Amino acid sequence: MGVEVETLRPGDGQHFPPRGRTVVVHYVGTLTNGKKFDSSRDRGEPFQFKLGAGEVIRGWDEGVAQMSLGQVARLTVSPDYAYGSRGYPPVIPPNSTLIFEVELLKFQALQKSAHPQWRKTARL
């Protein structure tokens, strides 16, 4: 299956994060039985990673790349795009489909200057 992206709240529809750039998201991760296993919102701090660099599970690299700035989406990630037969003991059992509610808050934009530019939602 890979990753399925379901829009819960549309983004701006114009600005999509380029691979290789840092993205900043809020997320809540649950198992298919509804049990929450992780949440940046609970920690009160967004999570950032370099898109397409393998710093996160494949489902996130591919799913977040399809999101536009400000979008909130439900990513349903099959085991082969998550933690597979290993799982992530003791939190995620082997062969688990994972569900993430992800909000794309901002990302590092392409720039011509030496200083990084950020695109961000007005809500930040």
Say how many C-beta atoms besides its own lie within 10 A of residue 38's C-beta: 16
Q: Residue 100 catalytic?
A: yes
Q: Residue 83 catalytic?
A: yes
Query: Which residue of the set 47, 81, 100, 107 is catalytic?
Result: 100
Q: Residue 38 catalytic?
A: yes
Query: Which residue of the set 16, 47, 57, 107 is catalytic?
Result: 57
Q: Residue 27 catalytic?
A: yes
Query: Which residue of the set 61, 83, 92, 107 is catalytic?
Result: 83
SS3 assignment for 52-73? CCCCCCHHHHHHHCCCCCCCEE
The rounded distance, in Å, linking the Cα atoms of 83 and 58 is 9
Query: Which residue of the set 16, 27, 47, 81 is catalytic?
Result: 27
Query: Which residue of the set 12, 38, 49, 88 is catalytic?
Result: 38
The catalytic residues are 27, 37-38, 57, 83, 100
